[in-house]
Amino acid sequence: MAKTTKPKPTKQAAQPMGAIRKGLTIKLQIAAGVFVPMLALGLWLNSKGFFG
């Protein structure tokens, strides 16, 4: 009876730090593109007395 060997689990290639930082930068840019205009609009509407 022949021995069967289990295949060794392959290690996933680690992402380089630059790729992780680039993805984070893109997410931050998208978040800033959404929240900064909302903040500006809220401040402008507040100055016009929109909220009370």
Q: In this predicted model, what pLDDT tens digit does every residue of 2-52 receive, in sequence order? A: 677 777 777 666 667 777 888 889 999 999 999 999 999 999 999 999 998
Angle subtended at Cα 17 by Cα 35 and Cα 14, rounded to the nearest 5 degrees:
120
Give the span between the Cα atoms of 24 and 21, in whole angstroms: 5
SS3 content of the chain, % helix, strand, coil (to 5): 60, 0, 40
Q: How confident is the model at residue 1 (pLDDT cuts 50, 70, 90)?
A: low
Give alpha helix (H) positions in the chain.
Answer: 17-47
Which pLDDT does position 19 carry in this prediction? 79
CB 51 within 8 A of CB 45: yes
pTM value?
Answer: 0.56
Which pLDDT does position 25 carry in this prediction? 92
Give the span between the Cα atoms of 34 and 50, in whole angstroms: 21
